[in-house]
Protein backbone atom coordinates (compact mmCIF):
# COMPACT_ATOMS: atom_id res chain seq x y z
CA UNK A 1 0.00 0.00 0.00
CA UNK A 2 1.00 3.65 0.06
CA UNK A 3 -0.32 5.83 2.85
CA UNK A 4 2.29 8.55 3.28
CA UNK A 5 4.72 10.33 0.97
CA UNK A 6 7.25 13.16 0.99
CA UNK A 7 7.49 15.77 -1.74
CA UNK A 8 9.80 18.63 -0.81
CA UNK A 9 10.69 20.29 -4.13
CA UNK A 10 9.36 23.77 -4.81
CA UNK A 11 6.91 24.27 -7.72
CA UNK A 12 9.60 25.57 -10.09
CA UNK A 13 11.92 22.70 -9.17
CA UNK A 14 9.17 20.17 -9.87
CA UNK A 15 8.83 21.55 -13.39
CA UNK A 16 12.51 20.96 -14.07
CA UNK A 17 12.59 17.61 -12.27
CA UNK A 18 9.89 16.07 -14.46
CA UNK A 19 10.82 17.32 -17.91
CA UNK A 20 9.74 14.88 -20.61
CA UNK A 21 9.98 14.05 -24.30
CA UNK A 22 6.90 14.13 -26.51
CA UNK A 23 6.17 11.68 -29.35
CA UNK A 24 8.56 13.57 -31.64
CA UNK A 25 11.40 13.30 -29.14
CA UNK A 26 11.30 16.99 -28.22
CA UNK A 27 12.17 17.73 -24.60
CA UNK A 28 9.54 19.78 -22.81
CA UNK A 29 9.14 21.21 -19.35
CA UNK A 30 5.53 20.92 -18.12
CA UNK A 31 3.80 24.04 -16.95
CA UNK A 32 1.55 24.16 -13.91
CA UNK A 33 -2.18 24.15 -14.53
CA UNK A 34 -3.57 27.61 -13.77
CA UNK A 35 -3.51 28.26 -10.01
CA UNK A 36 -2.34 24.77 -9.07
CA UNK A 37 1.20 25.80 -8.15
CA UNK A 38 -0.33 27.84 -5.33
CA UNK A 39 -2.39 24.87 -4.11
CA UNK A 40 0.68 22.65 -3.77
CA UNK A 41 2.58 22.71 -0.48
CA UNK A 42 5.96 20.94 -0.20
CA UNK A 43 5.97 18.53 2.71
CA UNK A 44 8.15 15.92 4.39
CA UNK A 45 5.04 14.05 5.52
CA UNK A 46 2.07 14.04 3.12
CA UNK A 47 -1.03 12.04 3.99
CA UNK A 48 -4.28 11.19 2.14
CA UNK A 49 -6.70 14.10 1.69
CA UNK A 50 -3.75 16.47 1.17
CA UNK A 51 -3.00 18.12 -2.18
CA UNK A 52 -0.16 16.47 -4.08
CA UNK A 53 1.54 17.13 -7.44
CA UNK A 54 0.69 14.89 -10.38
CA UNK A 55 1.72 14.82 -14.03
CA UNK A 56 -0.91 14.18 -16.69
CA UNK A 57 -1.90 14.91 -20.28
CA UNK A 58 -2.95 18.49 -21.02
CA UNK A 59 -5.77 17.00 -23.14
CA UNK A 60 -7.75 16.31 -19.95
CA UNK A 61 -8.13 20.08 -19.46
CA UNK A 62 -7.98 21.30 -23.05
CA UNK A 63 -9.54 19.12 -25.74
CA UNK A 64 -7.52 20.90 -28.42
CA UNK A 65 -4.13 20.23 -26.78
CA UNK A 66 -1.86 17.47 -28.09
CA UNK A 67 -2.46 14.30 -26.07
CA UNK A 68 1.30 13.95 -25.49
CA UNK A 69 1.63 17.43 -23.97
CA UNK A 70 2.00 17.16 -20.20
CA UNK A 71 0.93 19.49 -17.43
CA UNK A 72 1.48 19.58 -13.66
CA UNK A 73 -1.59 19.71 -11.45
CA UNK A 74 -2.31 19.68 -7.74
CA UNK A 75 -4.86 17.01 -6.85
CA UNK A 76 -6.44 15.65 -3.69
CA UNK A 77 -5.06 12.29 -2.59
CA UNK A 78 -8.05 9.94 -2.33
CA UNK A 79 -10.23 9.60 -5.42
CA UNK A 80 -13.74 11.04 -5.25
CA UNK A 81 -15.80 9.40 -8.03
CA UNK A 82 -17.58 11.74 -10.43
CA UNK A 83 -20.87 10.03 -9.54
CA UNK A 84 -20.54 10.58 -5.75
CA UNK A 85 -23.87 12.10 -4.61
CA UNK A 86 -23.00 13.64 -1.24
CA UNK A 87 -22.12 17.32 -0.96
CA UNK A 88 -18.96 16.66 1.09
CA UNK A 89 -16.17 14.24 0.03
CA UNK A 90 -15.42 13.52 3.69
CA UNK A 91 -18.73 11.62 3.83
CA UNK A 92 -17.27 8.79 1.74
CA UNK A 93 -17.32 5.63 3.85
CA UNK A 94 -14.47 3.83 2.14
CA UNK A 95 -10.82 4.65 1.42
CA UNK A 96 -9.70 5.41 -2.13
CA UNK A 97 -6.12 6.50 -1.43
CA UNK A 98 -4.94 3.24 -3.04
CA UNK A 99 -6.44 0.92 -5.65
CA UNK A 100 -5.18 -2.58 -6.36
CA UNK A 101 -4.07 -3.15 -9.95
CA UNK A 102 -5.78 -6.56 -9.93
CA UNK A 103 -9.18 -5.00 -9.16
CA UNK A 104 -8.99 -1.77 -11.11
CA UNK A 105 -11.45 -2.98 -13.77
CA UNK A 106 -13.80 -4.62 -11.25
CA UNK A 107 -14.60 -1.59 -9.10
CA UNK A 108 -16.67 1.20 -10.62
CA UNK A 109 -14.77 3.96 -8.80
CA UNK A 110 -11.61 3.04 -10.71
CA UNK A 111 -12.94 1.26 -13.79
CA UNK A 112 -14.76 4.30 -15.19
CA UNK A 113 -11.81 6.72 -15.09
CA UNK A 114 -9.37 4.01 -16.19
CA UNK A 115 -11.36 3.19 -19.31
CA UNK A 116 -11.67 6.92 -20.05
CA UNK A 117 -7.89 7.23 -20.06
CA UNK A 118 -7.79 9.30 -16.87
CA UNK A 119 -4.27 8.21 -15.94
CA UNK A 120 -1.76 10.30 -14.01
CA UNK A 121 1.70 10.04 -12.48
CA UNK A 122 2.02 10.88 -8.79
CA UNK A 123 5.30 12.65 -8.01
CA UNK A 124 7.18 12.29 -4.72
CA UNK A 125 10.66 12.19 -3.27
CA UNK A 126 9.61 8.79 -1.95
CA UNK A 127 7.01 7.08 0.22
CA UNK A 128 6.88 5.71 3.75
CA UNK A 129 5.97 2.19 4.73
CA UNK A 130 5.70 0.50 8.13
CA UNK A 131 7.17 -2.89 8.94
CA UNK A 132 5.56 -4.93 11.69
CA UNK A 133 8.09 -5.66 14.42
CA UNK A 134 7.93 -7.21 17.87
CA UNK A 135 7.30 -3.93 19.66
CA UNK A 136 5.06 -2.25 17.11
CA UNK A 137 5.90 -0.89 13.65
CA UNK A 138 9.14 0.46 12.19
CA UNK A 139 8.80 3.14 9.47
CA UNK A 140 10.98 3.12 6.34
CA UNK A 141 11.50 5.72 3.61
CA UNK A 142 11.51 4.16 0.10
CA UNK A 143 12.79 5.88 -3.04
CA UNK A 144 14.73 5.58 -6.31
CA UNK A 145 18.48 4.93 -5.85
CA UNK A 146 20.24 8.27 -6.33
CA UNK A 147 23.44 6.91 -7.86
CA UNK A 148 25.35 7.14 -11.10
CA UNK A 149 24.63 4.62 -13.89
CA UNK A 150 25.85 1.14 -13.09
CA UNK A 151 24.71 -2.36 -14.13
CA UNK A 152 22.14 -2.79 -16.87
CA UNK A 153 18.53 -3.62 -16.07
CA UNK A 154 19.15 -7.26 -17.03
CA UNK A 155 22.16 -7.40 -14.70
CA UNK A 156 20.01 -5.99 -11.92
CA UNK A 157 17.42 -8.74 -12.39
CA UNK A 158 20.06 -11.44 -12.18
CA UNK A 159 21.91 -10.08 -9.17
CA UNK A 160 21.13 -10.55 -5.50
CA UNK A 161 19.49 -7.50 -3.91
CA UNK A 162 20.92 -5.95 -0.80
CA UNK A 163 18.50 -5.04 1.95
CA UNK A 164 19.20 -1.31 2.01
CA UNK A 165 21.38 -0.82 -1.06
CA UNK A 166 20.10 -2.70 -4.11
CA UNK A 167 22.31 -2.72 -7.21
CA UNK A 168 23.02 0.93 -7.98
CA UNK A 169 21.39 1.90 -11.23
CA UNK A 170 19.51 4.97 -12.39
CA UNK A 171 17.84 4.07 -15.65
CA UNK A 172 17.05 6.83 -18.11
CA UNK A 173 14.64 8.45 -15.69
CA UNK A 174 13.25 11.93 -15.24
CA UNK A 175 16.38 13.39 -13.67
CA UNK A 176 18.63 12.60 -16.62
CA UNK A 177 18.85 14.43 -19.92
CA UNK A 178 21.11 15.49 -22.74
CA UNK A 179 20.63 19.22 -22.97
CA UNK A 180 22.50 21.74 -20.86
CA UNK A 181 20.50 22.89 -17.88
CA UNK A 182 18.79 19.54 -17.37
CA UNK A 183 17.68 18.64 -13.87
CA UNK A 184 20.48 16.84 -12.03
CA UNK A 185 19.00 16.86 -8.54
CA UNK A 186 16.82 14.41 -6.68
CA UNK A 187 15.26 11.83 -8.98
CA UNK A 188 11.54 11.92 -8.26
CA UNK A 189 9.64 8.73 -7.63
CA UNK A 190 7.01 8.28 -10.36
CA UNK A 191 3.96 6.26 -9.30
CA UNK A 192 1.09 5.23 -11.55
CA UNK A 193 -2.30 6.63 -10.62
CA UNK A 194 -5.86 7.05 -11.82
CA UNK A 195 -7.88 10.24 -11.28
CA UNK A 196 -11.41 11.58 -11.53
CA UNK A 197 -13.19 14.93 -11.43
CA UNK A 198 -16.10 15.45 -9.02
CA UNK A 199 -18.41 18.47 -8.93
CA UNK A 200 -20.58 19.14 -5.84
CA UNK A 201 -24.24 18.26 -6.58
CA UNK A 202 -25.28 21.79 -5.71
CA UNK A 203 -22.63 23.31 -7.95
CA UNK A 204 -19.23 24.73 -7.18
CA UNK A 205 -15.59 24.23 -8.04
CA UNK A 206 -14.74 20.81 -9.49
CA UNK A 207 -12.42 18.66 -7.38
CA UNK A 208 -9.70 16.61 -9.06
CA UNK A 209 -8.52 13.64 -7.01
CA UNK A 210 -6.49 10.48 -7.51
CA UNK A 211 -5.64 7.02 -6.21
CA UNK A 212 -2.20 5.43 -6.16
CA UNK A 213 -2.27 2.08 -7.97
CA UNK A 214 -0.57 -0.72 -6.01
CA UNK A 215 0.96 -4.08 -6.96
CA UNK A 216 2.55 -6.95 -5.06
CA UNK A 217 5.74 -5.89 -3.30
CA UNK A 218 9.05 -6.52 -5.02
CA UNK A 219 11.39 -9.10 -3.44
CA UNK A 220 13.52 -6.52 -1.62
CA UNK A 221 10.47 -4.83 -0.09
CA UNK A 222 8.46 -7.89 0.93
CA UNK A 223 10.00 -7.90 4.40
CA UNK A 224 8.50 -4.45 4.98
CA UNK A 225 5.05 -4.83 3.38
CA UNK A 226 3.28 -7.10 0.90
CA UNK A 227 2.16 -4.22 -1.36
CA UNK A 228 3.88 -1.28 -3.06
CA UNK A 229 2.95 1.50 -5.49
CA UNK A 230 3.13 0.64 -9.19
CA UNK A 231 6.38 2.34 -10.20
CA UNK A 232 6.94 3.78 -13.67
CA UNK A 233 10.67 3.42 -14.30
CA UNK A 234 11.99 5.96 -16.77
CA UNK A 235 10.66 8.44 -19.30
CA UNK A 236 9.30 5.89 -21.74
CA UNK A 237 7.08 4.18 -19.16
CA UNK A 238 5.87 7.56 -17.92
CA UNK A 239 5.12 8.68 -21.49
CA UNK A 240 3.19 5.50 -22.31
CA UNK A 241 1.15 5.68 -19.10
CA UNK A 242 0.11 9.28 -19.78
CA UNK A 243 -0.43 9.04 -23.56
CA UNK A 244 -3.97 7.66 -23.51
CA UNK A 245 -4.37 8.48 -27.20
CA UNK A 246 -1.63 6.13 -28.35
CA UNK A 247 -1.71 3.61 -25.49
CA UNK A 248 -5.17 2.26 -24.75
CA UNK A 249 -6.24 1.23 -21.26
CA UNK A 250 -5.70 -2.54 -21.54
CA UNK A 251 -2.23 -1.98 -22.99
CA UNK A 252 -1.38 0.55 -20.27
CA UNK A 253 -2.28 -1.96 -17.56
CA UNK A 254 0.71 -4.07 -18.66
CA UNK A 255 2.97 -1.33 -17.25
CA UNK A 256 1.72 -2.07 -13.74
CA UNK A 257 4.38 -4.51 -12.67
CA UNK A 258 6.25 -5.19 -9.44
CA UNK A 259 9.76 -3.78 -10.00
CA UNK A 260 12.75 -4.61 -7.82
CA UNK A 261 14.40 -1.20 -8.32
CA UNK A 262 13.85 0.83 -5.14
CA UNK A 263 16.08 1.41 -2.15
CA UNK A 264 15.12 2.32 1.41
CA UNK A 265 16.29 3.11 4.92
CA UNK A 266 14.67 3.12 8.38
CA UNK A 267 13.50 6.45 9.77
CA UNK A 268 12.34 7.83 13.09
CA UNK A 269 8.87 7.22 14.50
CA UNK A 270 8.37 10.99 14.22
CA UNK A 271 6.79 10.32 10.83
CA UNK A 272 4.00 8.34 12.52
CA UNK A 273 2.30 11.62 13.46
CA UNK A 274 1.11 13.55 10.41
CA UNK A 275 1.54 16.80 12.33
CA UNK A 276 5.31 16.29 12.21
CA UNK A 277 6.60 17.95 9.05
CA UNK A 278 10.36 18.38 9.27
CA UNK A 279 13.54 16.92 7.71
CA UNK A 280 13.88 14.66 10.75
CA UNK A 281 11.05 12.57 9.26
CA UNK A 282 13.42 11.51 6.48
CA UNK A 283 16.69 11.20 8.35
CA UNK A 284 18.17 7.68 8.34
CA UNK A 285 18.44 5.97 11.72
CA UNK A 286 20.49 2.95 12.76
CA UNK A 287 18.12 0.42 14.28
CA UNK A 288 20.89 -1.04 16.42
CA UNK A 289 22.74 1.96 17.82
CA UNK A 290 20.26 4.77 17.05
CA UNK A 291 23.17 6.69 15.58
CA UNK A 292 23.25 8.01 12.05
CA UNK A 293 24.52 5.42 9.57
CA UNK A 294 27.42 5.97 7.22
CA UNK A 295 26.69 7.73 3.94
CA UNK A 296 25.54 5.51 1.07
CA UNK A 297 26.15 6.09 -2.62
CA UNK A 298 22.66 7.60 -2.87
CA UNK A 299 23.17 10.03 0.00
CA UNK A 300 26.60 11.07 -1.33
CA UNK A 301 25.01 11.87 -4.69
CA UNK A 302 22.46 14.12 -2.96
CA UNK A 303 25.14 15.94 -0.97
CA UNK A 304 27.11 16.51 -4.17
CA UNK A 305 24.05 17.96 -5.88
CA UNK A 306 23.42 20.35 -3.02
CA UNK A 307 27.01 21.61 -2.92
CA UNK A 308 27.23 22.11 -6.69
CA UNK A 309 23.83 23.69 -7.32
CA UNK A 310 23.57 27.42 -7.80
CA UNK A 311 22.29 29.26 -4.69
CA UNK A 312 20.40 31.65 -6.95
CA UNK A 313 18.28 28.75 -8.16
CA UNK A 314 17.38 27.68 -4.64
CA UNK A 315 16.14 30.93 -3.16
CA UNK A 316 12.94 29.19 -2.22
CA UNK A 317 14.68 27.69 0.82
CA UNK A 318 13.89 29.54 4.02
CA UNK A 319 16.98 29.49 6.22
CA UNK A 320 16.76 28.93 9.92
CA UNK A 321 18.52 31.58 11.94
CA UNK A 322 21.62 30.90 14.00
CA UNK A 323 19.65 31.69 17.15
CA UNK A 324 16.98 29.12 16.22
CA UNK A 325 19.62 26.48 15.59
CA UNK A 326 21.42 27.14 18.86
CA UNK A 327 18.16 27.06 20.82
CA UNK A 328 17.57 23.45 19.80
CA UNK A 329 18.52 20.64 22.17
CA UNK A 330 22.02 19.33 21.55
CA UNK A 331 20.74 15.97 20.28
CA UNK A 332 18.88 17.74 17.46
CA UNK A 333 21.96 19.64 16.30
CA UNK A 334 24.09 16.67 15.35
CA UNK A 335 25.42 16.55 11.79
CA UNK A 336 22.78 15.31 9.38
CA UNK A 337 23.19 12.34 7.08
CA UNK A 338 23.48 12.88 3.34
CA UNK A 339 19.78 12.39 2.70
CA UNK A 340 18.75 14.97 5.27
CA UNK A 341 21.44 17.39 4.05
CA UNK A 342 20.12 17.26 0.49
CA UNK A 343 16.48 17.77 1.43
CA UNK A 344 17.10 20.15 4.31
CA UNK A 345 20.08 22.13 3.04
CA UNK A 346 21.70 23.66 6.11
CA UNK A 347 18.80 23.48 8.58
CA UNK A 348 16.38 24.71 5.95
CA UNK A 349 12.62 24.41 5.91
CA UNK A 350 10.43 22.98 3.09
CA UNK A 351 10.45 24.97 -0.09
CA UNK A 352 7.29 26.86 -0.92
CA UNK A 353 7.90 28.72 -4.18
Determine the pLDDT at residue 31. Answer: 94
Given 13, 69, 129, 235, the catalytic residue: 129
Angle at 87 between CA 82 and CA 92, to 5 degrees: 70
Name the residue ranges covered by the structural domains of the chain: 5-277
pLDDT digits (tens, 9 = 90+) for 241-276: 999 988 999 999 999 999 999 999 999 999 999 999
First to last CA, the chain: 30
311 has a pLDDT exceeding 70: no
CATH class, 5-277 region = alpha beta
**Nearest alpha-carbon partner for 261 in 292, 231, 289, 291:** 231
Q: Which helix (H) or strand (E) holds 190?
A: strand 189-198
C-beta separation of 234 from 169 below 8 A = no
Length of the chain: 353
Residues 148/231/62/40 CA torsion (nearest 10 deg): -80
Would you say residue 339 has pLDDT above 50? no
Per-residue pLDDT of 201-225, as tens digits, reads: 888 889 999 999 999 999 999 999 9
For the whole model, what pTM was predicted? 0.76
114-154 residue pLDDT tens: 999 999 999 999 999 999 988 899 999 999 998 654 333 43
Which residues 6+ apart lie within 8 Å of 294 measured at CB? none
Is 129 among the residues known to form the active site?
A: yes
In this model, does residue 102 exceed pLDDT 60? Answer: yes
Neighbours of 285 (CB within 10 A): 20
What is residue 172's three-state secondary structure?
A: coil
Give me the chain's average pLDDT, please: 78
d(CA 125, CA 266): 15
Pairing of strands 31-32, 126-133: unpaired
Cβ within 8 Å of residue 240, ≥6 positions away: 246, 247, 252, 255
Residue 183: closest CA among 352, 71, 314: 314
Q: Is 102 exposed, middle or buried (0-12, 13-18, 19+ CB in 10 A)?
A: exposed
134 flagged as catalytic? no
Q: Is 253 helix (H, G, I), strand (E, B) or coil?
A: helix
Amino acid sequence: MCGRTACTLAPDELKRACSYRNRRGQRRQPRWRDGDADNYRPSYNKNPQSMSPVLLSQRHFDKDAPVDECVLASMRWGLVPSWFKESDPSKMHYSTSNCRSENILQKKSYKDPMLKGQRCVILADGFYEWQKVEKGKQPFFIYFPQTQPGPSQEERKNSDSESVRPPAKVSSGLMKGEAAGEWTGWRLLTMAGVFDCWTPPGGGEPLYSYSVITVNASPNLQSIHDRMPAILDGEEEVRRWLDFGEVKSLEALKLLQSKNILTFHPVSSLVNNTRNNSPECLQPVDLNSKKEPKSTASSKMMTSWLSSSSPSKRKSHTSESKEERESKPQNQRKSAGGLQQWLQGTNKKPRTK
